[in-house]
Amino acid sequence: MCELLGMSANVPTDIVFSFTGLMQRGGKTGPHKDGWGLAFYEGKGLRLFQDPVASCESEVAKMVQHYLIKSEVVIGHIRQANVGKVSLVNTHPFVRELWGRNWCFAHNGQLANFQPAQGHYRPVGETDSELAFCDLLNRIRHDFPEPCAAEAILPIMVEACAQYRSHGVFNCLLSNGDWLFSFCTTKLVEITRKAPFGHAQLRDAELTVDFQHETTPKDVVTVLATEPLTQNEAWTTHRSGEWSLWRLGACVARGQVESPAC
């Protein structure tokens, strides 16, 4: 399985601390050695860093660690390949344009017997993940050809994710830069950091940060991950079928779909 990393914040924030912990799981403290990617939104712009090399050995990943990019929405991924060869074209996150914005997607899991109808969006690579992303955008584009708020398309996103889950494991993160959507089948955790801020210590690296010295009292930052990244903080575990919508660090909508019938 792969691992996900997401961030939603009310001010431009760097994710170096969390990414440093995740990077170790890409071949050092974890088996996810088949590539990694990290996407930062800056307004309508999107900086995307990817490498099909294990993140613990990637020179690009080391560069990103020292490149303090600040963003309000970030999506990251480390890959353990199960569908599709290890290559750049199969490396998450995936990006497509819809309504004049960059949409970004990353998936953890595997879908069996998944063959959606073709539409405007088609995968470039071979993964079931990119196929699901294209299908999801095709559904949204079909019902909403013009831009609309995330709340309007929530039913489409939730219904699609519930259907994908019937084909296997489907944990995902999706964003268009304004908001961050998550869906959990098996593993997803969250933590929201806000005043009063304290210390945090990574699980996978000897690194501690005092967020009180890195933030202001008005900052709100939520991090989502497959597994907790720190060892001294209380992370909240998502339930199977739980979805959430984040904007500026806050959860603005949340719900749960029933488990597929056996």
pLDDT tens digits along 10-39: 999 999 999 999 989 988 888 888 899 999
Please tell me which residue in 2, 104, 161, 172 is annotated as part of the active site: 2
Mean pLDDT of 206-231: 93
Residue 1 pLDDT > 50 = yes
- List, in order, residues 6 or more apart from 244 with CB less than 8 Å away: 181, 182, 190, 238, 251, 253, 254
Q: What is residue 36's predicted lDDT score, i.e. its pLDDT?
A: 94
Side chain identity at residue 213, one-letter code: H
Q: What is residue 260's predicted lDDT score, i.e. its pLDDT?
A: 61
pTM of the model: 0.95
- List, in order, residues 6 or more apart from 254 with CB less than 8 Å away: 242, 243, 244, 245
Any domain includes 130: yes
Any domain includes 262: no
Any domain includes 74: yes
Any domain includes 79: yes
pLDDT digits (tens, 9 = 90+) for 131-173: 999 999 999 999 999 999 999 999 999 999 999 999 999 999 9
Is 2 among the residues known to form the active site?
yes
Q: What is residue 212's predicted lDDT score, i.e. its pLDDT?
A: 87
131: CATH = 3.60.20.10
Q: What is residue 213's predicted lDDT score, i.e. its pLDDT?
A: 84
Q: Using alpha carbons, list the distances in angstroms from residue 210 to 190, 202, 234, 250.
A: 19, 12, 16, 21
Domain count, the chain: 1
Any domain includes 175: yes
Q: What is residue 66's predicted lDDT score, i.e. its pLDDT?
A: 84
Any domain includes 202: yes
Q: Is the CA virtual torsion 54, 58, 60, 61 positive or negative?
A: positive
Question: Which residue segment(s) compose the domain that 101 sits in?
Answer: 3-256
